[in-house]
Structures are given as C-alpha cells and as structure tokens.
Structure 1
C-alpha cells in the first residue's frame, strides 16, 4: 500500500508543476458491484479541441465488510468532438474498460465492465458512473470548447 501512496503523491507533484490550465480536480460516484466515491486529479495531455487524451489518478473510497477502504486508481480517457468517451481504469482489484459520453470534459457519464484481478473480487460486473472535472483556473484549456459555425 505504501508504494501506491508514494506513486500517487509523486504524480500529484508532477502534475502541480505542469501547466495548471490543463489540470482539473475530479469528483465522481461509481457503482462497480458496490458504491464507490472517487476524488483525484486529471491532466489533459494534448491541446486539440477536436479530441482529448486525459490521464488521471484518484483515490477510491468504499466500504467492504463494514471496513473503510481507500484504494489508488489510474485512468486514461479519450474523447472526440462527438462527445464520445472511451477509457480504462486500473486499481489493485480490477481493470475497468469504459465507454460513455463527455460534456466538454466537464462531466463524464460512463458505463463498462469490471474485470477482477485480485483473489478478493470486490469489484466485478457491469459498472456505471458520473464524474465531474473542476478546473482550478479561469478559461482552462482542460475543457473542450463549443464549436460554433
């Protein structure tokens, strides 16, 4: 567990030194066989308006057998101008490919399937979730712009 926490904080430090206008905080709710709350950071790797490649790290909170669990997670999302979203997330218990919709990179609505990779199958089966990305600066390059004719 110590390795995951150290990697999480190393990534946060790297992102904080990067450009703030491509970074956003995320807050999410997901159902992956159980209720999960999520908070973390997202970083938009490109500057294109037509498509986005977003990398992120988060901490998941869930209750397992009446015990609180905090788990690290890494994810990657691709979105295009048609608001289609594809991505995958990995945590110590599962790999979750996802598809869904993106609203200007501000809100993600997604569904997918959790494939367990641990002997304790806390996360398995069909998943769905909603995620909000909140940029810390005004006129952030993280959000996609509405293209007007």
Structure 2
C-alpha cells in the first residue's frame, strides 16, 4: 500500500470517528467545582486553616470562589477555633492567576491580594483589621501572610 492509499484510509476513519463523536456529545457538568482546602496563615500568630469551597466561572477568563471553614491556633495555653468565610475573585485564566480576596471572622476583616497556581495553590498577602477582640485573647490584626492548597473533588477537563 502506498502513502496516498494509507492517507485516504486514515482520513476516512477519522471522519467516521468525528461523526460518531458528534452523535454522542460529552456529558454536561455542573458549573461548580468544589472541595476541601487546607492552609497556613500568619496574622498576629500562626493558624492552621481548614475549609470547604466552591468555585464557578461567570465567564471564560474569570473565576469566583466562596469558602467557609475554621482557623485553628494555640494561644494563651489553649486551642482556639475561629470560624471564617471568604470570597476570592481570580482575575485571569492563565497558569498564574492573580486574585483579590476578602476574609471575615467574628474578630477581623482581612482584604488580600495574591497569586494562585491553577487555583490549586494560593499565596496571599493582606492586612487584617480588628473588629472585635475575643475575651482573654490577644488582638488579631496586622499583616497577613497565607498559603493554601485547594483540592478539587469534581474537576473535569471538558
């Protein structure tokens, strides 16, 4: 068989596969990606962060993430758990995504900026503003540095 015959057969097979693929479209997916995350944060002390999150795309180049969880710390000779909610806006859909974030606890409001690697690893910096000081606890305010890992449970490529 010569090269022209082989090319003709290959094009015919690929055309048949294309027609078959059009008859069986890929299944539709939920627009939300969700999962757990774990991280470390320094703001007037060290915190271990654990949360659940959901991420959606309002268009092809922007992403928004909503998360809720808890910050764990050892201060004043005891373990303290502080609930937290956050909202993250990823600006682009490139490998490194710049983001802006706002976090709210019963004691602080913390705006942040940072970079994310495929929205899987977030590195952020911000400043926490004290809104309420916990009794028998130091103020949680000042510069905020954070590193988080987001684990998607329902990630899909199509």
| TM-score, L = length of structure 1 | 0.75
2:122 to 98, 104, 108: 108
Which protein shows a greater Rg?
2
Distance in 2 (CA, whole Å) between partners of 1:49 and 1:33 is 38
5+ long unaligned stretches in structure 2:
1-29
CA contact (8 A) 1:62 1:69 kept: yes
5+ long unaligned stretches in structure 1:
1-18, 142-149
2:141 equivalent to 1:132: no
C-alpha deviation, 1:118, in angstroms: 1.0
| TM-score, L = length of structure 2 | 0.71
CA RMSD of aligned residues (A): 2.0
Distance in 2 (CA, whole Å) between partners of 1:21 and 1:136 is 11
Q: Which runs of 4+ in 1 moved over 2 A?
A: 45-49, 119-122, 137-141
2:55 to 33, 44, 54: 44
2:72 to 61, 68, 73: 61
C-alpha deviation, 1:46, in angstroms: 2.7
Q: How does 1:8-87 map to 2 (within 5 A)?
A: 22-46=33-57, 48-81=59-92, 83-87=97-101
Distance in 2 (CA, whole Å) between partners of 1:90 and 1:21 is 22
Aligned length: 123
Distance in 2 (CA, whole Å) between partners of 1:71 and 1:54 is 20
CA contact (8 A) 1:21 1:140 kept: no
CA contact (8 A) 1:21 1:135 kept: no
1:79-109 residue CA offsets vs partner (Å, 9 max, x unmatched): 1225111010000110000000011110110
Larger RCO (CA under 8 A, 6+ residues apart): 1
Aligned to 1:14: none
